[in-house]
């Protein structure tokens, strides 16, 4: 799981994406869909109509990692346990 603030390129993408959220559940086609990440265009930032939902397998390349501390490590541990259930 990548940290908030991490900047990536998605497969077949030509714009950098900054991760602004993780473990996102949204309604898609009348069903609940889970996504690993939500991102925004970099350097433009958040735009209400242009949030991008994507999964780990959609990432082509990590440009730079985001911030990490003890809370980040704990969050990753809890999400990992949750995903295993």
Give residue-wise pLDDT tens across range 36-65. Answer: 999 999 999 998 788 899 999 999 999 999
Strand, coil or helix: 85? coil
Q: Beginning with the edge strand found earlier in the chain, give each strand of the sheet holding 31-42 in spatial order.
A: 52-54, 31-42, 16-28, 7-10, 59-64
Q: Is the confidence at residue 72, as pLDDT, over 80?
A: yes
Q: Using alpha carbons only, what angle is made at residue 25 by residues 17 and 13, rounded to the nearest 5 degrees?
A: 25
The pLDDT-based confidence of 21 (bands split at 50, 70, 90) is: very high
Residue at 1 is within a domain: no
Residue at 15 is within a domain: yes
Segments forming the whole domain that contains residue 20: 7-84
At which residue do the structure tokens 């433009």 appear?
44
Residue at 13 is within a domain: yes
Domain count, the chain: 1
Q: Is the confidence at residue 1, as pLDDT, over 80?
A: yes
Cis peptide before 43 (omega within 30 of 0): yes
């Amino acid at each position: 799981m990548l940290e908030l603030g991490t900047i990536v390129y998605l497969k077949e993408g030509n714009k950098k994406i900054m991760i602004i959220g993780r473990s996102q559940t949204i309604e898609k086609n009348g069903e609940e869909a889970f996504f690993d990440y939500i991102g925004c265009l970099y350097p433009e930032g958040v735009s209400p109509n242009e949030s991008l939902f994507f999964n780990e397998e959609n990432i082509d390349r990590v440009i730079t990692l985001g911030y990490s501390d003890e809370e980040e490590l704990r969050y990753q541990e809890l999400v990992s346990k949750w995903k295993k259930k």
